[in-house]
Amino acid sequence: MSIVEDIEKLILEVERRPPLYNKQLKEFIDRNLKDKLWYEVYESVVTNWSELPAEQKSEKGMLIFLFILLGIMLIMLIYTG
């Protein structure tokens, strides 16, 4: 998979979980639910996520965060020209 495909998959997985980004939902403030949803996102985009040691989960979680930022920046560039 290319980085663009990885970012697209990540964006799709986050979009499937509106409480992660939609502040209008009452579930948005539920930290436990959001932790659970992020765990689901990680499981769907990182091979063998549940089997990784905590240190690797932390590293990969940071990479996912950076992918999200990169994806947002790309979308902004596309729509703002």
Give dist(CA 79, CA 6) in Å, integer. Answer: 20
pLDDT 10s digits, 8-63: 888 899 899 999 989 999 999 999 999 999 989 988 888 888 888 989 888 888 88
pLDDT band at 1 (very low <50, low <70, confident <90, very high): low
Domain boundaries, the chain: 3-80
Distance separating alpha carbons of residues 64 and 35, to the nearest angstrom: 14
- Residues 7-19 have pLDDT tens digits of 788 889 989 999 9
